[in-house]
Chain A
Amino acid sequence: MSGFLSRLGWIVLAILGLGLLAYGLDQVGLEPISLLEAGLLAMTPLALAAVGECVNEKAGVVNIGLEGILLITAVVGVWVAEQFGSGIAGLIGGMVVGALIGLVLGLLAVYGRADQIIAGMGLNLFALGFTPYLLMSLWAFPGIHIFPRELMVPRWITPLGQISPVTLAAILLAFLAHILLHHTVLGFRIRAVGEKPEAVDVAGVRVDGLRLFTSVLGGALCGLGGAFMPLAWFGGVVKEISAGRGFIALACVVFAGLEPLLALAAAFLFGLTEGIAYAVAITPGVKERIPFYFVNMLPYVVTLLVVTLVIGRRRFPRTIGRPYTRE
C-alpha cells in the first residue's frame, strides 16, 4: 500500500508541476480550462488501453500490441461509423474489433504458447502496414480520411468545460477494473493465475479461460480507445493516428504496477502533457518562440522521465508473459 501511496505522490507532484507550467502558460495567454479539456481528451485512449492491460498483465498475459490495436480500431471505427451513420456505432465497432484482436492474441498466447512480446510486436508491425492499406482500400485516399462532422460523438457541456462521454466511461472503467481485481471472485482468480497458474489449475479453475477473458477485455478497452481518437477527438483518421500512444499506455501500466487506478492517474498525467503540448503549439505568442517540434517531444520525454524516476520496486506477477502448460 505504501508503494501505492508513494506512486500516487509522484503523480500528484508531477501534476502539480504541470499545473505550475499551465499557470505560466496562462500568463502568456493560454486558457487552463481548454488545457484541462485537452488533457482529458488525450488521457482517454491512454487510460482505456492501460486499464485493460493492467487486468491482462495481472493474469500473466502481456500485450505489447496495444499500439497496433489502437491503429486498426481507429480506422475500423470510422468505417463502421460511416456504415451505420453513427459515431456511437463506430465506438462499438472499435470495441468489437479490439476484442477480436485480443481474442486472437490470447489464443496464440494460451494455446499456441506464443512468445507474447514477439507476437505483440508482430501485431504492431502488421498495423503499421495494414492501416494505410485500409485507408487506401476503403476511401482511395492515401494516409488520411476526414469523415462528416455529424458522425462525431458529441461532447457534454459542463460548467467546467466540455467532456466526452467516452472520457467518463474510461474513468468509470478504471474504477470498475479496480473493483473487479480486488473485490470479486473473478479478480481473486485473475490475480492468482498470474502468480501461480498451477494453483488455479489444480483448484479446478480453467487457466485458459481466465487468460482468454482478460485478453479479450484488454483488447476491447483498447479498441474503444482506438475508435475514440477519430470519432470523439480528432474528427479524422491518419495512418499514424496513435503516434506511440500504445507504448505510452504500456508505460502507464509499468508505472502503475498493474493497478488500474494508478494507471488512470498516470494516463491523466501524460494526457495533460499532451494537452500542454497541443496548447503551446496553437497559442499565439508562444508558438513562435518554442519550435513546434520540441513541443511535440514533450509527451515522450515526460513518459520516459516519469518511468525512470519511479520505476523502483514494482512487483509484477511471477509468470508474466509465460505460457502455462501442464506437460
Chain B
Amino acid sequence: MRRARPLLESLVAVGIGLIAGGALMLPFRYHPLKAYQALFQGAFGTPHDVMETLAFATPLMLTAVTFAVGVRAGLFNIGAEGQMYIGAIGAVFAASLLPLPPGLHILVATLVAMICGALWSLVPALLKIWRGVHEVISTIMFNWIAFHLATYLAIYYLAEPGRAERTRPALPTARYPILAEGSTLTAVIFVAILFCLAVYFLLWGTRMGYEMRLVGENPEAARYAGVQIGQALLWSFLIGGMAAGLAGASQIIGRPPAWSLYATLGNVATLGFDGIGVALVGRNHPLGGILAAILFGALQHGGRFMEYHAGVVSELVRAVNGLIVITLAIPELWTLVRRRLTL
C-alpha cells in the first residue's frame, strides 16, 4: 500500500492532465476522444511504435534524473535544458571530429558529453554554495546562455560543410547500434537505464546518497550529523549535469537518422524542461522516472500521430505535461481523492 499510493496519485494526475488537455481542444473544435485515440494508437499501435516511444523516453528519463537528484538534495535544479545542449555539443565534437577506434569512440563521446553537462552545472552549483544564489535563477540564465553558445558553436565550428542547418554527423564509429531495422531506438537506451539504476543505487545504497537525501530532507539535521552540505549539493548538481549531458549525447550519437545537432537545437530543445514533469510524475525517483519517461515518450511519439490524424498540434502534449505538474503540486487533491475512494 505504501508503494502503491504514489503510483495511484501519479496516475490520477496524468488522468486529470489529459482531461484538462482535452478541454483545451474543445474551443478549437477538435475532437478530444478522437485525438487521444489517435495518440495512443500512435504510441503503442505497432511494435515499431513501441520502439519509437522508447526512443523518445530515453532522454526524458535522464533529464528527469537531473531534476530528481536535485529535489532529493533540496534543490530545484531546472538546468537540465542547458546542460543537455552543452552535452550535445560535446558529443558532436567528440563523435564527429575525434578519429577513434570503434567501441572506444562511443565510450569517449558519451563521457565527453557527460563531462560537458557536469561542467555546465558547476557554476550554478558554486554560486549556490558560495553566494546562495537561488538555483532557479542561475540555472535558467545558464540555460539561455547555453542556448546561444550551443547555437554559435554549432553554426561556426561544428557545422557540416555545405549544410548550415545542422552539425557534422557523428562518425559511424561513435554511433550506438540501432536495435531494429527502420527504428530510431538504439542501444543508448540501455546506457540511460543503467545510469538511472546507478543513481538509484547511489541515493539509497551509499553514504553519499544518504547524506544528499538528508540535506534535502532536513539541512539542520544534516549539519548535526556532520554532513558537508556544500559537498552534497555539489554532487547533486554534478550528477544531474552528467545525466543531462548523457541525455544530450543520446540525441546525437544515439538517435538516427540525423546523428547530429540541428542548428536550431530543434532535436534537443525542451527535452530538459520535459524532464521536470517526468521526474515529478515519477515521484523524483530514478526508477519511477523510467516508467514516467515511457509514458511521456508515448505522449510525444503519439502526439505526432495525433497531429497527423486529428489535426491537433502535437505541442499540446507539452501543455498536458504542465497541467500534470500543476496537479501534482496540490497535496489537498490527494486528500479529496482519498476521501472519494474510501467513501
Asked if chains A and B are in direct contact (CB within 8 A), the reply is yes
**A contact residues vs B (CB 8 Å cutoff):** 64, 68, 108, 111-119, 121-130, 132-133, 136-137, 142, 243-244, 247-248, 250-251, 254, 291, 293-294, 296-297, 300-301, 303-304, 307-308, 311
Which residues from chain B contact A112 at a C-beta distance below 8 Å? Answer: 329-333
Q: For B276, list chain A residues within 8 Å (CB).
A: 121, 125
Task: Please report the C-alpha to C-alpha distance between residue A128 and residue B317 in the assembled complex, in whole angstroms.
Answer: 10
Flag if A297 contacts B325 (CB, 8 Å): no
- Whole-angstrom CA separation of A294 from B331 in the bound complex: 43
Q: How far is the CB of A87 from chain B (nearest CB, A)?
A: 23
The docked-state distance in angstroms from the alpha carbon of A251 to that of B142 is 13
Contacts A108-B326, A251-B137 given: A113-B331 contact, CB under 8 Å?
yes
A121 to B133, CA, bound (A): 18
Known contacts being A128-B270, A133-B24, is A291 close to B329, with CB within 8 Å? no
Please tell me which one of the listed residues A114, A125, A133, A136 contacts residue B330 in the complex, with CB atoms under 8 A apart.
A114
Q: Determine, out of B149-157, B184-192, B254-262, the stretch whose residues face the partner at the interface.
A: B149-157
Binary contact readout B59-100 vs A (1 if CB under 8 angstroms, 0 otherwise): 000000000000000001010000000000000000000000
Contact of A114 among B156, B322, B329 (CB under 8 A): B329
Query: Are B321 and A296 closer than 8 Å at their CB atoms?
Result: no
The residues in B between 307 and 334 inclusive whose CB is less than 8 angstroms from any CB of A are 313, 315-333
By a CB distance below 8 angstroms, the chain A residues around B331 are 112-115
Q: Which residues of B contact A124 (CB under 8 A)?
A: 273, 322
Q: Chain B contacts of A304 at CB under 8 A?
A: 127, 133, 137-138, 141-142
Cβ contacts under 8 Å, B131 to chain A: 308, 311
Q: How many residues on chain B are close to A (CB under 8 Å)?
A: 49
> What chain A residues lie within 8 Å of B330 (beta carbons)?
108, 112-114, 119
Q: Is B283 an interface residue (CB 8 A)?
A: no
| CB nearest to A251 among chain B residues | B137
Q: A129-B320, A304-B141 are in contact. Are A291 and B326 (CB under 8 A)?
A: no
13 CB < 8 A contacts A-B: A112-B330, A117-B76, A125-B273, A125-B322, A129-B321, A130-B322, A132-B313, A142-B313, A244-B144, A250-B136, A250-B137, A251-B137, A291-B152
- Of chain B, the residue at the smallest CB distance from A247 is B140
What's the count of A-B pairs with C-beta under 8 Å? 149
Complex CA distance for A125 and B81, rounded to whole angstroms: 12
Q: Check A132 against B329 for contact (C-beta < 8 Å).
A: no
In the A-B complex, the 8 residue pairs with the closest CB atoms: A129-B318, A126-B322, A122-B325, A125-B322, A122-B326, A129-B319, A293-B152, A119-B329
Residues of B contacting A137 with CB < 8 Å? Answer: 28, 313
Q: Which B residues, 114 to 149, have Cβ-Cβ distances below 8 Å to chain A?
A: 127, 131-134, 136-138, 140-145, 148-149
Question: What distance in Å separates the Cβ of B129 from its nearest Cβ neighbour in chain A?
Answer: 12
Q: In the complex, how many angstroms separate the beta carbon of A58 from the nearest chain B beta carbon? A: 17
B280 at the interface (CB under 8 A from A): yes
Does B241 count as interface, using CB distance less than 8 angstroms?
no
Residue in chain A with minimal CB distance to B270: A128
Residue among B320, B321, B323, B329 with the highest chain A CB neighbour number at 10 A: B329
Additional A-B contact list (11), CB under 8 Å, known A64-B136, A114-B326? A113-B330, A117-B76, A119-B330, A122-B324, A126-B319, A126-B326, A129-B319, A293-B148, A301-B141, A304-B141, A308-B133
B209 at the interface (CB under 8 A from A): no
Is B289 on the interface with A (CB-CB < 8 A)?
no
Across the interface, which residues of B come within 8 angstroms of A115, CB to CB?
329, 331
User: A125 CA to B299 CA in the complex, in Å?
Assistant: 15
- Bound-state CA distance A84–B326 (Å) is 32
Question: Contact mask B223-243 → A, CB, 8 Å, 1/0?
Answer: 000000000000000000000
Asked if B277 is at the interface of the complex by the 8 Å CB criterion, the answer is yes
Task: List chain B residues, Cβ under 8 A from A116.
Answer: 329
For A126, the closest partner residue in chain B by CB is B322
B235 to chain A, nearest CB (A): 22
Query: In angstroms, how far is the closest chain A Cβ from the Cβ of B279?
Result: 11
The CA of A327 and the CA of B280, in the complex, are separated in Å by 27
Supposing A132-B313, A247-B140, A304-B141 touch, asked if A125 and B321 sit within 8 A by C-beta, the answer is yes
Q: With A and B bound together, what is the CA distance between A113 and B331 in angstroms? A: 7
Chain A contacts for B329, CB-based, 8 A: 108, 112, 114-116, 118-119, 122
On chain B, the residues within 8 Å of A126 by CB distance are 319, 321-323, 325-326
The CA of A136 and the CA of B311, in the complex, are separated in Å by 10
In the complex formed, the residue of A with least CB distance to B307 is A136
